[in-house]
A and B are shown apart, each in its own frame.
Chain A
């Protein structure tokens, strides 16, 4: 295995109201820390992209392709933004996630590996080989 092997991960920041009730000094610190964290990860080449997401969006679902407002703007689960990481392994991705300055105020970080092949396609291949457990005959 090469020492330069890297893997890509997506950090999804969940919760978009954790700033409620913070003092101006706490806010000042968390904003400065978050910016410095993002800049440092970019400078180190570990974070290659990231965006906050607008709170208002749309959700499309169903055979009728219904368009609804959402996700609900104020929620602990709502995704507020993401970082795209290129790191050595999952351990490093988790170590970076643990540095998130919003954690102590209730933000939650989801760490997800970026896949080469979509899990459905993977199952379709297994299906063809007759390896999918529980697949209808």
Chain B
């Protein structure tokens, strides 16, 4: 998973520079697609909400995407390994304008859950029993 951070990289570019940069991004993306490297990719809207607290009792506007850390979009890569994903991230044309790309391997199992394998096992067994109950009831 590539997370693109700092969605306001276009600030200060002239119209010509901006169009040129966007053309290069499109060409880069089309090249990756043609090579079968793109599983999914989308930009994110600039508005959003952040939810925290028990039962989600705090709902606030944000994050504010003007910051360099804000995530502006993502690209789910079909890469052989982290090295290939890093190489692809390094070829992103807009890095020179100040965006950064976070490269994160996706997992089948949550790392927090993995720290507690016995608990996950019990939860799965419980879920399995629930499936059986549903199956026998059907």
Chain A positions within 8 Å of B, measured between CB atoms, are 8, 10, 12, 16, 18-19, 24, 27-28, 31-32, 34-36, 39, 49, 51-63, 65, 67, 70-71, 77, 79-82, 90, 94, 97-100, 103-104, 106-115, 117-121, 123-124, 127-128, 135-136
Query: Which of chain A's residues has its CB closest to B110's CB?
Result: A52
CB-CB < 8 A to B73: which residues of A?
115, 118
Q: What's the Cα separation between A42 and B11 when bound, in Å?
A: 39
Known contacts being A10-B74, A59-B101, is A27 close to B119, with CB within 8 Å?
yes
Known contacts being A10-B44, A65-B95, is A60 close to B103, with CB within 8 Å?
yes
| Distance of A74 from chain B, by nearest CB (Å) | 11
Q: What's the Cα separation between A135 and B126 when bound, in Å?
A: 59
CB-CB < 8 A to B52: which residues of A?
103, 106-109
Q: What's the Cα separation between A111 and B113 when bound, in Å?
A: 23
Chain B positions within 8 Å of A, measured between CB atoms, are 1, 3, 7-10, 14-15, 18-19, 22, 40, 42-56, 59, 63, 65, 69, 71-74, 82, 85-86, 89-90, 92, 95-96, 98-113, 115-116, 119-120, 122-124, 126-127
Q: What's the Cα separation between A104 and B57 when bound, in Å?
A: 10
| Distance of A114 from chain B, by nearest CB (Å) | 5
CB-CB < 8 A to B119: which residues of A?
24, 27-28, 31
Contact across chains for A120 and B10 when beta carbons are under 8 A apart: yes
**Nearest 9 pairs between A and B by C-beta?**
A98-B56, A61-B100, A113-B45, A118-B43, A52-B110, A104-B54, A51-B106, A57-B104, A54-B105
- Residue of A28, A36, A81, A124 touching B122 (CB-CB under 8 A): A28
Contact across chains for B106 and A54 when beta carbons are under 8 A apart: yes
Q: What's the Cα separation between A12 and B107 when bound, in Å?
A: 15
Known contacts being A58-B89, A110-B48, is A81 close to B110, with CB within 8 Å?
yes
- Residue of A36, A53, A103 touching B127 (CB-CB under 8 A): A36
Contact across chains for A112 and B95 when beta carbons are under 8 A apart: no
